[in-house]
Amino acid sequence: MASRVLFKALYPRTVLATTIFFAADVAAQALTANNNEQGLASLHSDWDPIRSIKTAAFGLGIVSWYGFSSAFILTKAFPMSSSSSTGKITFATAMLQAAAQQALFAPPLTFSFLYTSAALIHDDPDPFETAKEQMPDVASTAWSFLPWVNGLATWAIAAPGLRALALNGIAFGWATYLATVATPGSEAFLDFEMPKLQAAVSV
């Protein structure tokens, strides 16, 4: 009985994590294609499906279990209490959960993705050093907007289905960023695009 309950809780997360990371890698390859002006035509000729499958395997093997565990722990630590007047999740609780997620659970997951990508996807000879060099900028970018958008989406969207859609959209965007960062030679693209994205989010 307990295993059936666990399966029902994990199965949708596993499918979502696998799909999100697969799609994110496809998007990252499109963004970092050698000839960005050709857009989808360049992706069609240059897409590496094995790379996308390897990235999806990270979502399948790690993100689903890790996400389930972190959500369970955070829900126990910060119960999603509702405002008695509106019936909505309180703003403070939503923001506390988002900040705790970013501070406690995101760093190990992020570093493991950067390391795994360098070691198993891009054949980096020193994946630990590469991940260590990438981590400060990635963490800084994450803190600049992720807790805020996740917390606001959790608090502001009352309908569970729409809330899940919004949070999964945020997860897809972040996974695309991670897959792009992990791509060798993406520095010039990120240096050009990220300031515009951060400015758009801050408006």
pLDDT computed for residue 35 by the predictor:
43
> Residue 101 contacts by C-beta under 8 Å, 6 or more apart in sequence?
70, 74, 147, 150
Q: What pLDDT does 55 receive?
A: 95
Q: Name residue 188's amino acid.
A: A
Q: Report d(CA 92, CA 90) in Å as an integer.
A: 6
CA distance 31 to 23: 12
pLDDT for the residue 182 = 94
pLDDT confidence of residue 199: 52
Q: Are 63 and 46 in contact (CB under 8 A)?
A: no
pLDDT score of 195 = 56
pLDDT at position 83 is 52
CA distance to 89, 137, 201, per residue, from 195 (Å)? 32, 13, 10
List per-residue pLDDT tens for the chain, 203 residues long: 555 655 566 677 788 889 999 999 999 998 887 545 555 545 556 789 999 999 999 988 777 667 767 767 777 776 665 554 555 678 888 898 899 889 988 999 899 999 999 999 999 999 999 999 999 999 999 999 999 999 999 888 888 889 889 999 999 999 999 999 999 887 755 665 555 555 544 54
- Minimal CA–CA distance to 89: which of 160, 149, 147, 148? 160
